[in-house]
Structure 1
Amino acid sequence: MSNEITVRITCSLQEMYNILQNKGFKITDKYNLEDTYYIKEDIDIKKQPIKEIFNKYILIRNITQFRPDNFVDSYNILKMTLKIKNIESDGTITNQCKKDCQIYDMGQGKAFLTDLGYKNIMTIKEKAIVYEKDGLKLAIKEIENGDNLIEIETEKDNPELNSIDKLKEKISELQIPVDTNDYFIKKAEIELKKFL
């Protein structure tokens, strides 16, 4: 089971790209996501605490994956993703897991979830560029009509990156312009609050 931290970027994206490149980071991945969020039909988003809404949910995920040889040509991947998170009262995500299942038709995936008693609550679009240096991967995320974020996942096989505390140390050591007041920015919660 992996975990991650997500922090807000406090400079422009171009400035962040330049800073990372000057620190020796290289682009290793580029993709766009369109995530459509589904929750159980009987959940009332106006009455349920937001943290509880996002303890367990399903995404229909449309991924535009750019080819690594030039990061220009791309292909699409469709997935259904179950996400389960354990969130403490202070917002700290203690652990989380996800299960993916590739699908071949978005409409059929949406209909399947509806038939299972799930409802669509929102869609979030983002563009991501992943920079890497010495095994540390920083996913720079531009959320449509939202914040610019950096997401870093724990790496269970890397003793320097296998815990949240070690990821926080790495962010601090990099001295990059990010807001470290909250290491667990939850884009879904931010977006849902716009509808409430």
Structure 2
Amino acid sequence: MALKTSCPCCGKPFSAPEDYAGKKVNCPKCDHRFVLKTREQALQEAADLEAEKLRQLEDRRRIELIEREERKHRDRRASMPYYEKFQTGTRPVRNYDPRSGPGFLNLRYLADLLLIGAYAVLMLALAGLGLTVYLKFAGVISSIVILSIVLIGWILVGGVLFLLLKYLAELALLMASLGDQQNDVVRLLLDLRDNTDVDSPEQG
């Protein structure tokens, strides 16, 4: 009786005599040599393959179920009021409001003004450099030494003032951002305090 098998290398199905079970046979297509499995081994391999497919299908279904539950949890959490989302209690205390705008507007306006001033100083320094070069070609400045001193002065003054004002602008903006974060933390703590029931100790 012939045994049906397939080549593990090229996948070509073919039949071989049952007497060759447990022995090496050659594939008629690619001449790959492999051990011919017995009928019991072939049935067991097919059963194991089917069980593996079922296990993979079950794992895929389980993963899809977990992902579906996670999406539901994210959607439910996104629709929660902030005092439930951030676990600050169940009463709508409005100390913290994530939709409120930024605070410390004076510092933010100061940062904008300092940044504008920094670039104004830079433009003024460039204009001074251009004017100095023009005066040299016009013959007003005749000495190379004086020309060099004036150019270096414009570069140093303009560069130092530009960097200083830009640094102060970034510092003011950083302080405003840190202040907003600190205010948010304080408001969340106030919500926690107002929504937490503290049991008073029993008087003896």
TM bracket, shorter-chain basis: under 0.3
Q: Of the two structures, which has the highest relative contact order with CA contacts closer than 8 Å and spacing of 6 or more?
A: 1
Larger Rg: 2
The alignment's TM-score, normalised by the length of structure 1, stands at: 0.18
